[in-house]
Structure 1
Amino acid sequence: MSVMKKSNQFIALPIISIADGAEVGHVKSLVVNPKQGTVDFLTVEHGDWQISVRAIPFKKIVGVGEFAVMIEDSTSIFDLTEIPIANELVQKKISVVGAKVIDRKGQLIGETTEFFIDDDNGAILGVELSSPSKKMVLAADQLITFGRDLLVVKEEAQLNFLDREELLLNDSIQDEMEATNEDVVINHVIEKQLALLTGRTTTKDIFERDGKLLFPNGTTLEIEDVRKAQEKGPAVLAELSMNVVG
């Protein structure tokens, strides 16, 4: 299950190569993709690399713990010259922390003091911001634009502040649960179709959408036949369901 981490929990963490059983550097900074609202790379600090800048794609990270970032081996670390998109993102210098937060009507809301990351995929789940009166948390669905010095949010953002950061992960978990429930429903429907059609006999030729014969009249359907019909799409499956007996 995904774990939410603050951006500052990554900084200076040792990077450990599992294959080598050795430390291969420390996390220097997080590279934000402003279009996707994700952390796409971690830049790496190492005493032997004085000139080149190196980075780890977030998707290459095996895990992020309290004491280290784990990667499979040192081949997960790339020179920025090898990854043009990483170099481009670094040059954008998107710094979420310290950015002024304004809504799309130009109203100044506050300044970001932290942001929160899904350690499974690098998605930015939300930001913490401060105003003269208090600190607040804003979920990612209220964010419009990540700029170098500004964070633009929806006009109604001030009506959707959260009391605490933990609620960001609750929303993420809810999304995962809803997706899982949808999968359960779909699987139930598929299994029900298999049970209803297996062993029954077609009363006419059944064709695919492109006109190719799928089952000739009189075919007694095996379970693999029904699965094949399911793969051809709902229109073919409906035609089959209406033209069987037994």
Structure 2
Amino acid sequence: MKPTKDIVGLRIISISDGTQVGAVKDIVINPQGKTLDFIIVDQPTDYFGAKVIAFTDILGMGEFAITIPHLGVIQDVAQAKEAQNLLRQDTRVIGTKVLTRKGQLIGEVKEILIDEETGHIAACLFESDGQMHEIGADQVITLGRELLIVESETTTSNLRDMQGDEEDPIEAIDTPTSVTVDVDPTEEPEPEPESGFNLFEQRQLQYFIGKKAEKDIVLDNGEVLRAGDIITPAHVTLITSRNTLMEVTSHLQKN
């Protein structure tokens, strides 16, 4: 899960062009679907003069950048009716008051957590009496312009008190749980990408296969991917750091 503070400001890189085309200036929430439907690129003062990218057109949302397949997925808001409708609703979520179904005001939303693989809102973080709490999206009835309405029973059974966490509550949610897997000691494991790569970044690695680099790039085991060489699955297994991932992304030959 990724808090919106880690999405806004990310670089946007076009894979086919190998160039940075801008940065994320804002996000557009769909209150009915409880999803992130669009990101806004280089937002001007007037939203309706802006350019947007649909979440469905995003290849990857990593720590360093958001990747898109090509410049053609960038849309003018004036031509994107769905984005216009959502912008008119102006559902921010962050800063709205949290109200239970029974009318009890219990806090104010400070952050929302996005599943970067699906675009769905996974949870909302809100402050109540000086403490931070998390509420799952399945307990949210309405994402309104001014109010976040939740099930009444969530005030006791479905909120997690996060005040006692030593880590930042938002960062703590992102910490993966380690899993022990039994491995046959006689079976030689295949090389894998860095365990920190998320699903989108793994898809990005697969996108490299069959493409060519426009410059020599030193891979993470010291081997060199030569300019003009076709990238193979074997090359991909040697990309194990995000720095190398982004270097290859930035230096793919244009189609």
Note whether the superposition's TM-score is higher than 0.5. yes
1:59 is aligned, of 42, 51, 56, to 56
Q: Deviations over 1:172-220 (max 9, x none)?
A: xxxxxxxxxxxxxxxxxxxxxxxxxxxxxxxxxxxxxxxxxxxxxxxxx
1:88 is aligned, of 85, 88, 98, to 85
User: Do structure 1's residue 76 and structure 2's residue 46 form an aligned pair?
Assistant: no
* Structure 1 stretches lacking a partner, 5+ long: 171-246
Q: Deviations over 1:136-157 (max 9, x none)?
A: 1111111010111110101111
Which residue matches 2:37? 40
Contact 1:15 1:26 in 2 (8 A): yes
Q: Which has the higher contact order (CA 8 A, sep 6+)?
A: 2
User: Do structure 1's residue 110 and structure 2's residue 85 form an aligned pair?
Assistant: no
Q: 1:46 deviation in Å?
A: 6.7
Q: TM-score, normalised by structure 2?
A: 0.61
1:122 is aligned, of 119, 123, 128, to 119
Counterparts of 1:94 and 1:39 in 2: how far apart (Å)? 11
Counterpart of 2:159, as a letter, is F
Deviates more, 1:161-170 or 1:35-44: 161-170
2:16 is aligned, of 16, 19, 41, to 19
Q: 1:50 deviation in Å?
A: 10
Secondary structure class of the residue paired with 1:121: coil
User: Do structure 1's residue 6 and structure 2's residue 3 form an aligned pair?
Assistant: yes
Bigger Rg, structure 1 or 2: 1
Counterpart of 2:52, as a letter, is A
Q: 1:167 deviation in Å?
A: 6.4
Q: 1:163 deviation in Å?
A: 3.9
Contact 1:15 1:27 in 2 (8 A): yes
Q: TM-score, normalised by structure 1?
A: 0.63
Contact 2:131 2:161 in 1 (8 A): no
Equivalent positions of 1:193-208 (< 5 A) are none
1:162 is aligned, of 149, 160, 163, to 160
Question: Greater share of helix residues, 1 or 2?
Answer: 1
Identity of aligned residues (%): 39
